[in-house]
Structure 1
Amino acid sequence: MAAKRSAASAIVSRVFAATVQGMPAFFVGTLLILLLGVNLGIFPVGGYGSNFGEHLYSLVLPGLAVALTTCPVLIRSLTAALNDSMSAEYTNFALSKGLSRKRTVIDYAFRNAGITGVSILGIQVGHLVGGALVVENVFAIPGVGSLLMEAVLARDYDVVQALTVIFGVLVVLVYLLTDVVYSIVDPRVRLGA
């Protein structure tokens, strides 16, 4: 989208991202159930299956629902960062040296914009976890979301507190991993400094 700003695919992507970003995960999940599960019969509308293949197959729609509501933020921020990188002096310098536009975008612009993408992806982990918990209940998947909902309804405070701590630790670990990925994406960032 950043490389071809006026292409029809970029415009459609922007409109789609802006539309889906305003929808909650449970609503997108319900739409996917109606469209791909009930009307087309491609995916199961609930449950978890009985073997590994069925488990993966039944997770397609919930994963799609969570991804569709989380990805627009990442797409929009990464596109904005790529637009900034494409108009930066180092990108123009690389083009003037004779590098192809594709090589310049991959080696210079995308690498510098990748830091923004990693930051936004790390921040979105909390949203992903929350969305996954809600979507589990929409698709009737017996998982941690169902356990948390049952514990809240039964007023089992020990289970609620334990799951809250586990999710908190998970988010902190992902933030730590985000800092490690910074040093991989941009060698100027040092972990020890």
Structure 2
Amino acid sequence: MKKRIKTFISLTVMPFILHLIVRFIYLTNKKVFHHAKINPKEPIIVAFWHGELLMQPFNYQKLRPNSLIKAIISQHKDGEAITRTVEYLGIGSIRGSSSKGGAKALISTIKELKAKNDIAITPDGPRGPRFSVADGIVAIANKANARIVIFNCKPSKYWQMKSWDKFIVPKPFGTLEFFIQEPLDISGLENEEAKALIKEKMLINAVI
């Protein structure tokens, strides 16, 4: 019985409360958007650092308010709670990561892109190291012939966790600067060269 209650709280109650907190933070901040022009008909791979993910659903919704996006979320035990939280924020999910369920997630993301839907990925997640770029994003971009669009969010005031990704939680009543770069085409690049370019572009507006 206790286990059922604990599961109910972690998978039902907490995601609902967390999404309300995230919305409160967003609504109480001033927003500034620096968005490049993106072809609305082009399916894209959205990339952002794991530590900056909290406000990215709003960044995407500002860019494409009526579009469908699915994020690659780890099959780790915390993944289900994250999945349910982001669903409240209008984000679907594809379960898997480089360490578990990677092949299945790769196939699913390619199918989504071929269906003209967007997908989101944190190249340094789910375990880091921070600001690293795993092979997955390069493989997806090449196999789906899709371009990468880099998202960043810079809050003027924030708490920073002591986790591996130095997770950022913006404070209320500040300013959120949202960045979206022009689509990045990595076709024709070697794997390591593509990863280096992605990292370079993602660090331009990152919170270091």
Normalised TM-score (structure 2): 0.26
Structure that is richer in helix per residue: 1
Larger Rg: 1
Q: Larger RCO: Structure 1 or Structure 2 (Cα < 8 Å, ≥ 6 residues apart)?
A: 2
